[in-house]
Structure 1
Amino acid sequence: MLRSILAVLAGILVMGITVAAVQWLGHSIFPPPARVDPTDHDAMIALIASMPVMALAFVLLAYAFGTFLGAYTAATISVAHKRGVAVIIGVLMLALAALNFSVIAHPMWMVVLGVLIPLPFALLAWKLAKA
Structure 2
Amino acid sequence: MVRNILAVFAGIIVGSICIWGVETLNHFLHPFPKGTRPDNMGDLRNYVETLPFLGKFMVIVGYALGAVVSGFIATKVSKTEKPNLAIICGIIFLCFTLYNMSVLPTPIWFWILGVLVWILVLAGYKLALSKK
Q: Do both share a fold (TM > 0.5)?
A: yes
After superposition, where does 1:1-131 map in structure 2 within 5 Å?
1-80=1-80, 82-119=82-119, 121-131=120-130
Does the CA-based 8 Å contact 2:97-2:115 persist in structure 1?
yes
Shift of 1:3: 1.1
Tell me the alpha carbon deviations over residues 79-124 of structure 1, each in whole angstroms, 9 at most, x when there is no partner. 23641111011111111110101111211111111111112x1011
TM-score (norm 1): 0.90
Shift of 1:76: 0.9
Structure 2: stretches of 5+ with no match in the other structure: none
Moved runs in structure 1, 4+ residues, more than 4 A? none
Give the number of aligned pairs.
130
TM-score (norm 2): 0.89
- Give me the whole-angstrom Cα distance separating, in 1, the residues matched to 2:122 and 2:21: 22
Shift of 1:39: 4.8
Report the aligned-residue RMSD.
Answer: 1.5
Does the CA-based 8 Å contact 1:8-1:74 persist in structure 2?
yes
Does the CA-based 8 Å contact 2:81-2:129 persist in structure 1?
no
Structure 1: stretches of 5+ with no match in the other structure: none
